[in-house]
Amino acid sequence: MLLWGANVGTTVTAFIIGIKISAYALPIIAFGAALIFFFKNKKVNNFGQVIFGFGALFYGLELMGDGLRPIRDLQMFADLTVSMSAMPLLGVLIGTIFTVAVQSSSASIGLLQQLYEQGAMGLDAALPVLFGDNIGTTITAILASIGASIAAKRAALTHVIFNLIGTIIVLLVFYPFLHFVTYLSVELGLNERMQIAFAHGIFNVSNTLIQLPFVAVLAMIVTKLIPGDEISIEYKAKHLDPRFIGSSPAIALGQAKQEVLRMAEFSEKGLHEVSQYLVNGQKRHAEIAVQFEEAINNLDRKITDYLIQISSRSLSDQDSKLHSVLMDTVRDIERIGDHIENIVELKDYQKANKVNLTESAVDDLKEMCDLTLSTLKEAIQSLELLDHDMANSVIEKEEKIDKMERKLRKKHIQRVNEGKCTGSAGIVFVDIVSNLERIGDHSVNIAEAVIADDHH
């Protein structure tokens, strides 16, 4: 439903172009630049970037439109528009290809409005291109969803099917639709750009209304085409019943422990997804890891508040010690979540800036991830069972993590000296290793809290 709403929302850009806001593009750009460069406030800078980008979009469209003006005099282009008028499917194909090429339906529709205004094509040729633009923007969504989560792939496929069905429907009634747009243009006195804007708006709104009753059918089709279970993370606390705080603080403390273990499990799963992301770079692992980190942050607040309420009650010495362990552990798990997020951001930076890590570097990261994950798992188990032996094993493993960090740093320096690794790759590598080492430290903190608690 949100996807369809967004589809309708994109028509606003065409209407803005229709009122020829490009005449004010340069003042808008100047205003945005002033907010970016002359103010230190982060929010003001963000607004400035939005305004600057808004003005640049329309100024760029104006420049591109002026650059395309000469093509209307080319006989080849004139023949093409005649062909598109006679064969609407050709126009749809051209619109689709062009939008995929420029990666923006707003840009392609804006250029179409300018070409139509310049008289380079008639309305009967422009409308099929417009429908192709709508299909083209969904292809870019498909490309963006490669390697993403199942939900993202299903959303992209839904978008494609939705616009394909809409285009088929409108092509079946193309000439009545063409006459209707022409009628509106005369009755409302629309300029050429507004004619395209109205056609775009009518197409998307009508398409949404027609397909709205068939949402469940479309969802079933997409689920069949892209099978699989999406990981569902329950952000809400499951065990923190406030009624136990007053009636039985000891039971409430046991409930808090169960929730802390659940929070710890999220950190373990998040670290596993991060290790996968470091190796294969598939976006879905990053998305899931970030979801686990968000769930950890949410539980951190809920559990801490719950434990604070318990602390106001009368607790035995044993329960007081367990309470202290849980408070410390929650803080450590929250920090582990932060380091997981840091590693995701470092990998994102590496991909976005095309920073290449050598195969040896990736193998080293995988080895350290495996050791860190094993250490974290054992720390969680030691908390669950309050097992001193496991806790001591965690401390021994963390020493191995420290040694591995020093070893990997030396190997990295050697790769840089041999010219196998660039400086930027080295920064990413070292920062990831550092974050993994910090996760090991927090795992030890959990284990040491268990050792310090001798109430069992």
- pLDDT per residue, tens digit, the chain (456 aa), is 445 455 555 556 656 655 666 667 788 888 889 988 888 788 888 888 888 887 887 777 677 666 656 655 556 655 666 676 677 888 788 888 877 776 666 677 777 777 777 777 788 888 888 888 878 777 766 766 665 667 777 777 888 888 888 889 888 988 898 899 888 888 888 888 888 888 888 888 888 888 888 878 887 888 887 776 556 677 777 878 888 887 888 888 888 999 999 999 999 999 999 999 988 888 888 888 998 999 999 999 999 998 888 887 777 888 888 888 889 899 999 999 999 999 999 999 888 888 888 888 888 899 999 999 999 999 999 988 888 888 899 998 888 888 888 888 888 788 777 777 777 777 888 899 999 999 999 999 999 888 876 544
C-alpha–C-alpha distance, residues 169 and 209, integer Å = 13
Instruction: Let me know whether 133 and 49 are in one domain.
Output: yes
d(CA 281, CA 352) in angstroms, rounded, equals 11
At 456 the pLDDT is 43
CATH number of the domain residue 335 falls in: 1.20.58.220
**CA 299, CA 441: separation in Å to the nearest integer?**
21
- What's the length of the chain? 456
Residue 373, pLDDT score: 93
CA gap 452, 446 in Å, rounded: 10
Is 269 a member of any domain? yes
Q: What integer pLDDT is reported at residue 76 of this predicted model?
A: 64
Q: Are residues 218 and 354 in the same domain?
A: no
In 3-state terms, what secondary structure has residue 168?
helix
Rounded Cα distance between 265 and 258, Å, is: 11
Say if residue 211 is in the same domain as residue 149.
Answer: yes
- Residue 439 tokens read as 């996760």
* Residue-number span of the structural domain to which 411 is assigned: 243-452
According to the model, what pLDDT value does residue 346 have? 92
Report which residue type is found at 104: S
- Which tokens hold the place of 20? 């020829």
Look up tokens 């508040």; give the residue.
Answer: 305
pTM here is 0.60
Q: Are residues 151 and 273 in the same domain?
A: no
**DSSP state, residue 231:** P
Token pair 């400086």 is found at 423
Given this model, what pLDDT does residue 2 score?
A: 46
DSSP 173: T
* CA–centroid distance for 138 within its chain: 17
Q: Which single residue is written with the structure tokens 């041999």?
A: 418
- CA dist 303 and 260 (Å) reads 7
Among residues 225, 253, 277, which one ends one of the domains?
225
Is the domain of 138 the same as that of 276? Answer: no
Are 455 and 317 in contact by the 8 Å Cβ rule? The answer is yes
With respect to residue 235, please indicate whether it lies within any of the assigned structural domains.
no
The CA distances from residue 5 to 11, 135, 205, 207, in Å, are: 10, 16, 9, 11
Q: Does residue 232 belong to any structural domain of this protein?
A: no
Of 99, 138, 136, 126, which is closest to residue 200 (Cα–Cα)?
Answer: 126
Do 218 and 249 fall within a single domain? no
In a domain, 231, yes or no: no
Q: How far is CA 57 from CA 150, 232, 296, in A?
A: 32, 38, 39
Looking at this protein, which amino acid is placed at residue 241?
D
Question: Which tokens in the block code for residue 5?
Answer: 């709403």
Q: Is 374 part of any domain?
A: yes
Helices marked H in 312-387: 317-352, 359-385
- Tokens 């800078």 belong to residue: 45
Residue 193 buriedness (CB in 10 A; 0-12 / 13-18 / 19+): buried
Contact 7, 208 (CB under 8 A): yes
Q: Within a domain: residue 187? A: yes
Residues 271 and 342 grouped into a single domain = yes
Looking at the structure, tell me whether residues 323 and 220 fall in a common domain: no
Q: What angle do CA 61, 64, 68 make, to 5 degrees?
A: 135
Q: How many domains does the chain have?
A: 2
- Of the three residues 174, 194, 225, the one that is the final residue of a domain is 225
Of the residues 161, 193, 225, which one is the last residue of a structural domain? 225
Say if CB 376 and CB 340 are below 8 A apart.
Answer: no
Residues 192 and 150 in one domain: yes
Looking at the structure, tell me whether residues 71 and 143 fall in a common domain. Answer: yes
Reading the block at residue 176, the tokens are 């009545």
Asked whether residue 126 is assigned to any structural domain, the reply reads yes
Residues 14, 113 contacting (CB under 8 angstroms): yes
Q: Name the token pair of 274.
A: 């991060």
Nearest to 58 by CA among 97, 106, 105, 101: 106
Q: What are phi and psi of 451, to 5 degrees?
A: -65, -40
Q: Both 133 and 218 in a single domain? A: yes
Q: Is residue 314 part of a domain?
A: yes
Residue from 307, 310, 295 nearest 237 by CA: 295
Same domain, 292 and 216: no
Residue 398: name the closest of 382, 412, 386 by CA: 382
